[in-house]
Structure 1
Amino acid sequence: MTKETKIRQSSNADDTDLRSLKVQIGDKAITTPTKAVLSNNFYKNTKFPDNLLDIQELFVRFDENTLAKANEDAKYSSDKNNELGRQKDRANGCPHFCLSEFKNKGEYWRYPTDDEIDILTNFAYSHSNITPIPSIPKVARNLNIENFQDFLDYLDSCYNSIEIRNKKSILGYIPTVAPIFGKVLINFYLDKGINAFYIDFDGTMVKSRVDTLNAMKVELAKRGYEENSFFHFVNASYGKAINDEKILSARDLLSFGYGLDSLGGIHAGPRRSKEFYEKLKIMKDLPRNTNRLLNVKDYGYYRFDAVKDNLEAVYPQNALIEKSELSTHVESRVKNYLKILNLQQQCIEADNLVQLINETPNESLDYYKSKKNVLDTDLKDLAKNAIH
């Protein structure tokens, strides 16, 4: 059986579920809340501040063809390993893990075979200080009462594949499921010595899954693990970025207030047909709406084209990227600069929340209230003693 992830409780907020933990990842301890660094968009000359490099998230998506190539083609395998190696070098050796995703080609969905599971888990294990169970979003979107046991069998196969030669803790995979399945998954993992998890929100907002989150936390509390568990989360939406709204609320950052510990990246692929997105491109200016600048002072994601001529009003003073760099007409460069800049601001805000919990644990709700772009409905949901 795998070794449990070592977790030490640090402090809790009094008025929300915001909390801070000391979590052992490999040979280093990280402090939560934290924002995982993704360095795949970094340029060669990008120097991300060392004090913000708490934990790194790597990501690789496979289908049946690329998975076979990773196993059989020496050059393809070497290129994949080298690329992840470069990403790790850019994060200066901080604790890291590799999320591997299986998404078969075509409209239908299927589980990976036993051989494919072995390739997926081997890849994840080789590039992780804590090994994530591979995600299968196409399958996860089709789970129900009748077929959920098949999903548990898949998780069991992944666990057994890792355990053949395992010297690390395991990061359990939890898709966006109904509360009853969340309870089952928590007990499944705890029975196997797994107390650290990653939740794939698959492009949905965290607040739309609060019943499942609470059901899982209740189950953890029943077994004495409420404060001895770690939740990383990925693909959490802060709203429909394709909307023409000038400002969207930073709901991804609010997720820490629901008791989640580590914010990961956005990797969710398209859920609708190619034809739908072609029509959407005609109706909407996608780059205009998705290129957004985060301001942690007011928790707003600003549509960049709407503020680029008056950046002084919202541009962070401690920004890693100079304002002048964003005047380039190369769209891909602007997009990457914004990703790097927003990542830095998310990391800084996570550190601010650690300080808040330690110094004024009874003022976390007031802190969120001070951010003008946080919605009243979200504040009500975050309040510990709110009546829903």
Structure 2
Amino acid sequence: MLKPLPFPFPADHPLCPSSLLGAARRGRAPVHVRLDHGDPAWLVTRYEDARHVLSSPAFGRDRQRAGIPAARVAGLRSVDLPSHSLFSTDPPDHTRLRRFVYRMFTPRRVEGLRDGAHKIANRLVDSMIGEGPPADLVAGFGLALPVEVICDLLGVPLADRPLFSVWADGLLRMDLPAERVITCMEELNAYMAGLAAERADEPADDLISALVRERVEGDRLTGDELISMLRSLLVAGHETTASQISNFVFLLLRGGDYARLTTDPGLIPTAVEELLRYVPLITQGSMTRFVLEEVELGGVRLRPGEQVIVELSAANRDANAFTDPDALDLRREDNPHVAFGHGLHRCVGAALARMELQVALTTLAARLPGLRLAVPPDDVSWHADRLVRHPKALPVTW
């Protein structure tokens, strides 16, 4: 077997998948790679193979079930997810945990949050206009909007937002020592445990109270599962959608497509789906899957105990699934992208993320039709040390 290739592959631009991913996809078979931490893994880049791995019971997320020690997990960091995390369990535990959260994120329930999100977005734009250009779209809008929405939904005091930023940074940075990552996780866990205790004594109309009630009334959630779930929801709601708002606006402004949305706002839902397909978010593809039973994939025989990484951005550029996949087509109708994953571990907050992205672009296009970059595109600096891609700042004017 050939020596594993170092992964992630280098790219010319943070929002452009590496050409090596395209070469791997054309080769059809999974590619043997090695990340900085842990054992080698198989890299999956084809759309059909990606969907198979993400939905087949032959692959799991629970390393303990697969018999893989934490130190062997192929990853970008030396810190593994807790075994009781929603992201790192398999059925039946995963089915039970996901059921609790999904009830809070149904499309109907999320749609009920849209008016509130519009009010937040308009208030943020009011503030940007009041302070005058230039403005940093990351700090002034992209990060603030999803943070306020998730804080409202969970019932977390918005005044504590600076703490969340520190903790989320620690959990998503790839260059921090393991001790610092663990400290951030412990501090966030303690904070969430305190809020959960408060809601047990004085329930409110929020997601924390609802999940606490599930534990108190049925004891179907353990204390560790409750805290892990709250931590995951806060960090995901704090960072991923915020990153994509800034990424999307950068691409739209750089390529001149923003003006199309200002003149045709009805295009925005379709544009959001295309941008989700087109823009790579995670620097590592998807979370590592573990082979649970012998299976053949793309002509390669995978054996129990081996590990697989699905590169979602490569799958979303597969010509066998998408016409002219390297083109950003805001009117693309047939768009079964896997930006939110697929199968059992598909992002439980997908409906919320879609709504927030639509609200963000709708509000900006309506309120700031003359929005443009305040610096040349090449002068925008990007985070190179995080699991999630986004600019450090996005200077804009109007």
Query: Is the shorter-chain TM-score for this pair beyond 0.5, marking a shared fold?
Result: no
**Which structure is higher in RCO with an 8 Å CA cutoff and minimum separation 6?**
2
Give the structure with the higher percent strand. Answer: 1
Give the structure with the higher percent helix. Answer: 2
TM-score band, normalised by shorter chain: under 0.3
TM-score for both structures, normalised by structure 1 = 0.27
